């Protein structure tokens, strides 16, 4: 009888051990990623005398969120960025980032980082957000969108794409912009970033269905249902799924996605850059890919 009970219990014990191992692996990936970003966030402004959308935008956001989640972030890692973000009236005087030339994108990404800095208690001046929101609002197109990379419907880690850029603009404006709201309501889940954007915005059955059936055997997501998985698309899908994580099947999708990200991390703590087309090399995309993957791990852990 005792032997029979051991047989019956063994699968459950093994399953718990596997889940625990997966959690430990993802937590280690999170720690390594934060160490990488702590090194890279201040490096750009120090070496280039300007501020970038990837280091001082996306990556800084990840570090602000990491501090909220209990990680100890050295003050020196964010000091320059925080001072820069707190002065949106000076953003137009940035000396230039050779990786990006679209001021609309810079305003969006710096404003998103500023919003996160305020939400996490790193910046107290909410008036700075009003100034940043005015800059973002001025860049909005007549159709309610923020048109970034019109020729690239799936976007990229450092440039977002129009769908996710519009959701970001809508967030910065406090969800009170009727034109952006109308644009997002009309958005169709034609690819993974669009489906993730829609699920961020509203509880869409069609967007969830696309994400559910597009998760690969590795646990990740690519830009389209039949594409190989990429860290950026996986991160967007995971961040969207956190909105509905109380639904019965969602935790398993999240767990598999977290495991995929953990297995793809490079030894230095970064992730391979998600580029369009895939396989290219880009420092900007590497830093932003790592920022998005880090945000996904932070937001999906319990």
pTM, 2 dp: 0.91
Domains identified in the chain, total number: 1
Q: How far apart (Å, rounded) are the C-alpha atoms in residues 25 and 221?
A: 19
Q: What is the DSSP string of 159-216?
A: T--HHHHHHHHHHHTTT--HHHHHHHHH----SHHHHHHHHHHS--HHHHHHHHHH--
The reported pLDDT for the residue numbered 3 is 41
Within a domain: residue 99? yes
Q: In this structure, are residues 155 and 102 in contact, taking their beta carbons and an 8 Å threshold?
A: no
| Domain housing 260 | 23-300
Per-residue pLDDT in tens (0 to 9) along the chain, 302 residues: 444 433 333 445 444 444 555 568 999 999 999 999 999 999 999 999 999 999 999 999 999 999 999 999 999 999 999 999 999 999 999 986 554 568 899 999 999 999 999 999 999 999 999 999 999 999 999 999 999 888 898 999 999 999 999 999 999 999 999 999 999 999 999 999 999 999 999 999 999 999 999 999 999 999 999 999 999 999 999 999 999 999 999 999 999 999 999 999 999 999 999 999 999 999 999 999 999 999 999 999 87
Beta partners for residue 230, in sequence order:
221
Within a domain: residue 3? no
The reported pLDDT for the residue numbered 19 is 53
Across the chain, mean pLDDT equals 91
Q: How far apart (Å, rounded) are the C-alpha atoms in residues 90 and 84?
A: 8
Q: In this structure, are residues 175 and 191 in contact, taking their beta carbons and an 8 Å threshold?
A: no
Within a domain: residue 148? yes
Q: Percentage helix, strand, coil, to 5, in the chain?
A: 65, 0, 35
Q: How far apart (Å, rounded) are the C-alpha atoms in residues 207 and 198?
A: 7
The reported pLDDT for the residue numbered 39 is 98
Within a domain: residue 11? no
Within a domain: residue 87? yes
Q: In this structure, are residues 254 and 242 in contact, taking their beta carbons and an 8 Å threshold?
A: yes
Q: How far apart (Å, rounded) are the C-alpha atoms in residues 189 and 196?
A: 8
The reported pLDDT for the residue numbered 151 is 84
Within a domain: residue 262? yes
CATH of the domain at 176: 1.50.10.20
Residue 197 has a CB neighbour count (10 Å cut-off) of 28
């Amino acid at each position: 009888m005792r032997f029979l009970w051991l047989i019956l219990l063994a699968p459950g014990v093994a399953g718990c051990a596997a889940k625990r191992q997966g959690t430990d692996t993802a937590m280690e990936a999170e720690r390594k990623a934060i160490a990488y970003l702590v090194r890279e966030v201040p490096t750009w402004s120090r070496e280039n005398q300007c501020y970038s959308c990837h280091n001082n935008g996306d990556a800084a956001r990840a570090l602000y969120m990491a501090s909220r989640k209990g990680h100890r972030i050295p003050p020196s890692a964010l000091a320059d960025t925080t001072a820069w973000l707190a002065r949106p009236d000076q953003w137009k005087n940035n000396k230039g980032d050779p990786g990006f030339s679209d001021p609309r994108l810079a305003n969006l990404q710096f404003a998103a980082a500023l919003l996160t800095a305020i939400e996490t208690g790193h910046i107290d001046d909410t008036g700075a957000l009003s100034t940043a929101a005015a800059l973002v609002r001025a860049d909005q197109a007549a159709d309610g969108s923020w048109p970034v990379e019109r020729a690239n419907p799936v976007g990229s880690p450092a440039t977002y794409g129009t769908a996710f850029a519009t959701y970001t603009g809508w967030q910065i404006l406090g969800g009170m912009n009727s034109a952006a709201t109308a644009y997002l309501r009309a958005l169709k889940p034609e690819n993974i970033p669009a489906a993730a954007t829609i699920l961020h915005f509203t509880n869409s059955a069609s967007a969830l269905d696309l994400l559910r059936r597009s998760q690969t055997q590795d646990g990740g997501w690519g830009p389209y249902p039949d594409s190989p998985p990429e860290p950026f698309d996986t991160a967007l899908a995971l961040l969207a799924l956190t909105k509905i994580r109380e639904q019965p099947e969602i935790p398993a999708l999240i767990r598999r996605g977290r495991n995929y990200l953990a297995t793809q991390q490079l030894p230095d703590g970064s992730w391979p850059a998600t580029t369009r087309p895939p396989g290219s090399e880009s420092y900007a995309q590497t830093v932003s890919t790592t920022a998005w993957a880090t945000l996904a791990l932070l937001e999906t852990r319990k």
